[in-house]
Structure 1
Amino acid sequence: MRILLAGASGFLGTRLADRLTADGHQLTRLVRRPPRTPDERQWNPSAGQLDPVAVAEADAVVNLAGAGVGDKRWNDDYRRLIRTSRVDSTTTLATTVAGLPADDRPRVLLNSSAVGWYGNTGDRVVEEDAPAGEGFLADVCRVWEAATRPAEDAGVRVVRLRTGLPLHRDGGLLKPQLLPFKLGIAGRLGSGRQWLPWISMEDWLDATRFLLDHDEISGPVNVVGPNPVTNAEFTRELARQLHRPAIVPIPALALKVALGGFAHEALTSTRVLPSVLTRAGYPYHHPTLPTALTAALKG
């Protein structure tokens, strides 16, 4: 399959690019700088600039572009970047796809989204048919997903990847926690009762490939593990596997001082189930947190 990938340099994109290439797919990466290799194409999503030929050459488009939500302390400027980096890239890709002649359009657009769509659900279980919640990330996800509509209206299969928290020792949720845990100065966040929609990195990669191949699946898909846990449960299991104590809870006030606006999202409870993947028969490699953490810590 010929795949056009946006966001190939990110935490998820680098690993997906490696996996797709290893599987024998022909991969083309979209980059903002001048291309350095034959498999790169330049684009400027903030200006809506993308060569339609690069899209017409692809059987599938995967868009993972967007500024990291946990990479920096949130202020007004970074909030704008989180939003525009997602909406601009999605709009540019979706409108370019829609503008191609029908025979030249890719068969599928897999576009990143997030479980932030649901907002704070407390202990309530949500599936893909749940409406958008409230809060900054829910608002971002609403406009982010809406930006895929030109491609969908043009008859292209669109899958919106509502990704949870992929586990890998080199990034995401896990990396910043490892040193405090190893030093014995870590613990649950706030009350610890908030639900964490984790997924192993191997399952995230394989679920994404699964969705590329399954033409009957479209719309939102929760890319999360089948057994969500609370922050307190996650903390206990991580401490057990690292053979370290986890007895120093981090108060909500301290998080707000350290993280600014992101603190609210870090304390959000999102109890999400992967109903679409489950019904489609996706075979999880790591259906429980202990096995997923074991794999993540091995890298």
Structure 2
Amino acid sequence: MNILISGGSGFLGSAFSKEIQKRYQTADKELHITWLTRDSSQEHPNDIEMMTYDQLSKTDSTFDVIFNLAGAGIADSRWSDERKEQLLASRIKPTESILEFIARTSIKPKLLVSGSAIGWYGTQGDKPLTESSSFETDFSHQLCEQWEQLALTATDYGVPVVIVRTGVVIHPEGGMVGKLLTPFKMGVGGQLGNGQQIMSWISREDWVGAALFIIEQHLAGYTQSQATQDNLLKTATENDTPAFVYNLTSPNPVNNHTFTKTLGTWLHRPTFFTLPNFLLKLMFGEMSTLLIDGQKVLPQALQDAGYEFQQPTLQQALAEQKS
């Protein structure tokens, strides 16, 4: 299999690349990975090829799967107007380049998997949300919606599309846990707001496992007739090319209070501190909604398709992490 990955060197893309290499080597299958990058001199493993966006616009290479993960971290800095534009551009421009490649190449990819986030659903408290749920309009929704709708235009060229809406990814090497390790180890970690806001999370191992499961399933011929009403995006295309959506979250979301206590127990550190809502709003502005307002997003389509979680509880996810 030839696979092209935008964002391949990132927190998720690098873990995905390592795992698919390991599985294909074990199964004695041929695999060729190319990372799509803006900087061809970027450090990378010797067995992974690098391709710039300029090279993509000219290449006659073919790919079985394109995995579109590029995008600046939504929680990396305060949401100024300039930052919002950067967040959108970092997702739209790489996706446009991929779509331009798909449009001109004579041998189309068998599948486009494009990233998104559970922010698509907007702030909805503790209401259970599956792939068929509606949304509340806020910045997170608008950002995800524009990214998803652009990716879905690949169906116009006969390329099936899978949208993966990712929750909070748990692993010490990065993501939320990576950022919290230092304050928690210093004994100043604690609850955010009233602690009742729901956090929909997934371990990085299960995120990678689910992504591979989805790709293998669809390459094996997963069809529109097999899809549940939850994950079939019927409005994505006017032709017969299917499009699907999956929530990449654990089936066991937790509130912030439970997350805080579980992380403190894992690190053997106290969790006495509380950051009140007004202080979070003062510190982070509009972006504080990611910390204060919860989402209870469930992986209905993934479970219906038969994926079995390896780390379904937060305690398991933290206990089994490999730092």
| Same fold? TM cut 0.5 | yes
2:97 is the alignment partner of 1:96: no
Matched-pair contact (CA < 8 Å) for 2:53–2:97: no
1:29 to 9, 27, 35: 35
The aligned runs of 1:131-150 (5 Å cut-off) are: 131-150=134-153
Shift of 1:275: 0.6
Matched-pair contact (CA < 8 Å) for 1:109–1:158: yes
2:181 is the alignment partner of 1:175: no
Structure 1, 280-289 or 146-155: larger mean CA deviation: 146-155
Q: Which runs of 5+ in 1 are unaligned?
A: none
Task: Classify 1:149/1:98 alpha carbon distance in 2 versus 1 (closer, same or farther; 3 Å).
Answer: farther
Distance 1:264 1:5 in 2: 30
Secondary structure of the 1:211 match is helix
Matched-pair contact (CA < 8 Å) for 1:35–1:42: no
Q: Which runs of 5+ in 2 are unaligned?
A: 25-30, 228-242
The aligned runs of 1:1-299 (5 Å cut-off) are: 1-24=1-24, 25-34=31-40, 39-43=49-53, 50-51=56-57, 53=59, 56-101=61-106, 104-215=107-218, 216=222, 218-296=243-321, 298-299=322-323
AA partner of residue 80 (structure 2)? N
Distance 2:154 2:103 in 1: 5
Secondary structure of the 2:275 match is coil
TM-score by length of 2: 0.85
Matched-pair contact (CA < 8 Å) for 1:95–1:150: no
The number of equivalent residue pairs is 291
Structure 1, 172-181 or 21-30: larger mean CA deviation: 21-30
CA RMSD of aligned residues (A): 1.8
Shift of 1:35: 5.4
Distance 2:136 2:2 in 1: 36
Secondary structure of the 1:160 match is strand
Distance 1:172 1:20 in 2: 21
Shift of 1:52: 5.5
Distance 1:260 1:12 in 2: 27
Shift of 1:272: 0.5
Matched-pair contact (CA < 8 Å) for 1:184–1:244: yes
Matched-pair contact (CA < 8 Å) for 2:4–2:66: yes
Secondary structure of the 1:86 match is helix
Distance 1:27 1:34 in 2: 15
Distance 1:35 1:187 in 2: 41
Structure 1, 272-281 or 146-155: larger mean CA deviation: 146-155
Distance 2:187 2:319 in 1: 19
Distance 2:40 2:265 in 1: 47
Distance 1:270 1:280 in 2: 23
Shift of 1:266: 2.0
Distance 2:96 2:124 in 1: 28
Secondary structure of the 1:68 match is coil
Distance 2:41 2:22 in 1: 22
Shift of 1:150: 2.1
